[in-house]
Amino acid sequence: MTAQSNSGGGLPPLLQLSNVSKSFGGIAALKEVDMTLQAGEIHGLVGENGAGKSTTMKIIAGVYHDYDGEMRIDGARVHFRSAREALAAGIGMVHQELSTVPDLTVAENVFLGHQPLTRMGTVDWARINKEATRLIASLGLDIDPKTRMGSLPVGLQQLVELSRVLFSGARIIILDEPTSALSPPEVKRLFDVLRKIKADGRGIIFISHFLDDVLEISDTVTVFRNGKKVVTEAAATLTKDAVISHMIGRGSIDMHMGESADLTGDDAKPVVLEAEAIGDGRQLRDVSLKLRAGEITGVYGFMGCGQIELARALFGKIRLKHGRFLLNGSQKSFKSTAAARGEGIAFVPENRRMMLFRTEPVYKNVSIAILDRIHRLLLMPKAERAIAGNRAKDLQIRPPNPNMMLGSLSGGNQQKVALAKWLTHLPKVLILSEPTRGMDVGAKEDVIRIVKDLRDRGVAILVLSTEPETILTLADRVSVLRKGMVAKEFNSGTIHKADLLAAA
Amino acid sequence: MSMTDVQPNSRLKSFLKDQLRNIAPVFTLLALVIFFAAASSSFFTVVNFMNILSQISITSIIAVGLTYVILTAEIDLSVAAIANAVGITIAYFTLQPDYVNIANLPLPGIIAIVLTLLTALCFGLITAFGVTWIGIPSFIMTLAIMQIANGVSALLVRGQIAYSYPDLITMLGSGSIFGIRWTIIVAILFLGIGHLVLTYTRFGRYIYMTGGNREAAEYSGVNVKFIIGSVMVISAMCSGIAGMLAVAYFGSAQQNQFDSYLLDAIAAVVVGGTSLFGGRGGIGNTIIGLLVLGVLNNGLDHIQIDSFLKILIRGLILLSALIINVYAQRLKESE
């Protein structure tokens, strides 16, 4: 490489990636990516799930070190062997999931992991509180450093975490979905802080699904698609639609299933389960939804939009703060998952580990949800095995042996077992969270077929996903969630992926 | 569709891996029996065998309930204290000889027994309420109940010793039939029913599944709180009944007479191979564990050994069982 001095007469860029590629087990996750971050720049990074954003960031942050290509900081070539080395070189990351400790004070959180010590070797509390006050004030915030972290709103907690990263001397700051949990005034405050940091001559990489936010705060925007950098442009010259079309490659030849869908919402079908203005007081703010018999309702939204909570609220796993459910027109409240199951509601969570017993045979996994239907008092393992065997046949679970330990099945087959639980006695309502995530094509098609078949047999189905393809492939009507509220509903007509992305 | 080929050899290996927690205790038991039989002429006799059974009978009844609790990955530290309190309660409701200076409340035998059983039930319900409704970890909750039960014991006897119980209790606790002590028969009954319920009923299956993966059980629509509450109540009832029989077995009811039973019962369950992480094991394992402990305690009396060393040896055996328990769990999960 002869990229010694490509920036004319000025300073070398703060961070430069050239020709970076990374693959996992032979599958390319990142292909020849170039990216440049200048000092005093906020660089927006957008792309769909799996486009390569996180992989790139993990390379920068030293989490992955077996990649091809090169990385330079201030023009000097670096290759981090660990996250610690990256940290020492001035790279700080604020993750979407906060890594603060709610039971410690704000000051303790700022200094977590590197508390200054007195000469006696004890923690220097006076200095911690003084420094923390100074740091927080320098961000234009007014927080008492002795406040308990957990008592602050999420937006402020995030800013405290940011000040921790700043304190550690980071000059390159990576923010992963910083606005997903924030209300508009909190977003504004975050942006004020980011502009201050930028003015200090630090560089910020701002990763987000919220394109409006990205376009507002960024100087430059880079779009990733399928592990490649598609474009880098000045934010001022971009529009939301332009970004979306870069993200999904509209007009490109690699169009495939799930790019668009013809919705067939039919208001004549009877409503089975209705949620009226439900909220859990946290992520789920205010959602109304009608699930109809023989219809698949899709709920699309980014991570943290409240869909995880919505699914759990419907299945009696979390309590509602407000709102109510109507099941076939009469009001219900599900005090437990057992109560929800008793009312004919079934749920397959996004993570199959959550509902499978790895060290038990397949038949026990299948029968657990219907034991009270097949047995009065005594168990009849023979009947259980027969039922599990039938389900294995219906769902083409391989191998179709009900005595196999669940843990020895492949992931896709495990997912089918999770679904098989609910299929012996048809539920009234089936809630599926990320039903096809992480599955190979064959298993995916099987699941899609099964779900559509269940719909045709009259089950009211709710599919929740962060992947637009899943929603577009399955749904008859779509609700888009944004920050715990229904942002938009699509009931009929043709919709495209871009419509979902724009609404979320 | 990746399915690993299973060779006969690796199948045997995985079977052994799977069964390690069941096999190891049996070998421990055999080794102990062989050792003591060789070391002492009085050990390997029918009389002594009946002795051992009688010595472990009270622990067995407690261990049945405790097995249920541990299978759900919870713990009950209050079993011995509840046994003590309930044992004292039955004496409290019985007319005592003149020389026993306790302000008690004599009632007809059957009423006394029913009230005493209700006392045990109350302890169980309070524990169940605390663990499931309030959400106190069972470790802490049962520690508190242990203290409360000890307090009840102390208040009821005030340092005195009681000697009389209803006739039924006296018979079951200290009597025999056909030369077999009733406590042994009651213990076998409890173990048998405990095993049948665990293995052949829906409730039993729910216990295993709740212990195996609580979240998954909940997402499958199992009422996990009900299951955990129930096992806490069952454990308290088993402890209570064991306590009633034990005071008759001992011949006296007083404070702190059950101190060794908590550790013995937990040790029996765990030494037998029931996983402290829940979901694995059962009454069969507990029976082996009880026999290991019984043979050990009894055998050490048959050979000339420093009685202080005995305590240490018991500790070491328990430690090695715990190591096997954790190791077996790890093997299982690495599969």
Q: Which of A356, A314, A347, A361 is nearest to A333 (CA)?
A: A314
In angstroms, the separation between the Cα of residue A401 and the nearest Cα of chain B is: 12
B1:A359 CB<8 A? no
Residues A173 and A229 grouped into a single domain: yes
CA distance B100 to A14: 89
Dihedral, CA of residue A401, residue A404, residue A407 and residue A412, to nearest 10? 0
* Residues of A with Cβ-Cβ distance to B212 under 8 angstroms: 357, 359-360
Number of domains in chain A: 3
Residues A366 and A339 grouped into a single domain: no
Residues A371 and A331 grouped into a single domain: no
- pLDDT over 90, % of chain B: 43
Of A376 and A247, the structure prediction assigns the larger pLDDT to A247
Pick among B214, B219, B228, B329 to test the A interface (most A CBs inside 10 A): B219
Look-up: residue for tokens 């009894």?
B298
Out of A214, A248, A282, a domain closes at A248
In a domain, A131, yes or no: yes
pLDDT value of position B11: 65
What pTM was computed for the model?
0.77
Q: What's the mean pLDDT in A178-183?
A: 76
Look-up: residue for tokens 């992989």?
A55
**Cα A504–chain centre separation:** 13
In angstroms, the separation between the Cα of residue B77 and the nearest Cα of chain A is: 28
CB atoms within 10 A of CB A124: 16
Tokens standing for residue B116:
């005493």
Residues A361 and A482 grouped into a single domain: no
Minimum CA–CA partner of A378 in chain B: B201
Chain A, window 341-370: residues with a beta carbon less than 8 angstroms from a chain B beta carbon: 341-342, 346-347, 349, 353-360, 364, 368-369
- Residues of chain B by 3-state class (helix, strand, coil), percent to 5: 75, 0, 25
Q: How would you classify the pairing of strands A477-482 and A322-327? A: unpaired
Q: Which residues contact B264 (CB under 8 A, 6 or more apart)?
A: B59, B293
Report helix angle B224-250 to B46-71, nearest 10.
Answer: 150
3-state SS class at A423: coil
B218:A375 CB<8 A? no
Residue A380, chain B, CB below 8 Å: the answer is no
In angstroms, the separation between the Cα of residue B16 and the nearest Cα of chain A is: 15
Look-up: residue for tokens 């009632």?
B107
Give the pLDDT confidence of A78-132 residue by residue, as tens digits. 888 888 888 888 898 888 777 788 888 888 888 877 777 778 878 888 888 888 8
Minimum CA–CA partner of B215 in chain A: A354
Give the pLDDT confidence of A227-255 residue by residue, as tens digits. 888 889 898 898 888 888 888 775 444 44
Name which of B3, B226, B332 is nearest A359 (Cβ-Cβ).
B332
Q: Which of A149, A81, A85, A138 is nearest to A111 (CA)?
A: A149
Instruction: List, in sequence order, every residue forming a beta bridge with A330; answer none if it has no partner.
Output: A327
**Could you tell me where the beta strands, DSSP code E, fall in A161-283?**
172-176, 203-207, 220-225, 228-234, 260-264, 271-279
Domain boundaries of chain B, sorted by first residue = 41-334
In angstroms, the separation between the Cα of residue A360 and the nearest Cα of chain B is: 8
CA distance A243 to A263: 25
Assess whether pLDDT exceeds 80 at residue A47: yes
Residues A233 and A265 grouped into a single domain: no
Residues A165 and A288 grouped into a single domain: no
B205:A407 CB<8 A? no
Assess whether pLDDT exceeds 70 at residue A4: no
* ipTM of model over 0.90: no
Instruction: Mark the ranges of chain B whose per-residue pLDDT is less than 50.
Output: 1-7
Out of A196, A216, A248, a domain closes at A248
Residues A432 and A412 grouped into a single domain: no
B209:A368 CB<8 A? yes
pLDDT value of position A257: 52
Q: What's the mean pLDDT in A18-33?
A: 84
Tokens standing for residue A167:
């304190």
Residues A61 and A198 grouped into a single domain: yes
Q: What's the mean pLDDT in A193-198?
A: 87
Pick among B202, B220, B225, B280 to test the A interface (most A CBs inside 10 A): B220
Of A367 and A441, the structure prediction assigns the larger pLDDT to A367
pLDDT value of position B158: 82
Residues B227/B207, Cβ–Cβ less than 8 Å = yes
CATH of domain B41-334: 1.10.3470
The pLDDT mean for chain A works out to: 84
In a domain, A395, yes or no: yes
Q: How would you classify the pairing of strands A15-24 and A27-37? A: antiparallel
pLDDT value of position A2: 40
Q: What's the mean pLDDT in A256-266?
A: 73
3-state SS class at B74: coil
Residues A412/A439, Cβ–Cβ less than 8 Å = yes
Q: Which of B81, B51, B79 is nearest to B291 (CA)?
A: B51
pLDDT value of position B210: 93
Q: Which residues contact A191 (CB under 8 A, 6 or more apart)?
A: A216, A217
Name which of B200, B216, B279 is nearest A354 (Cβ-Cβ).
B216
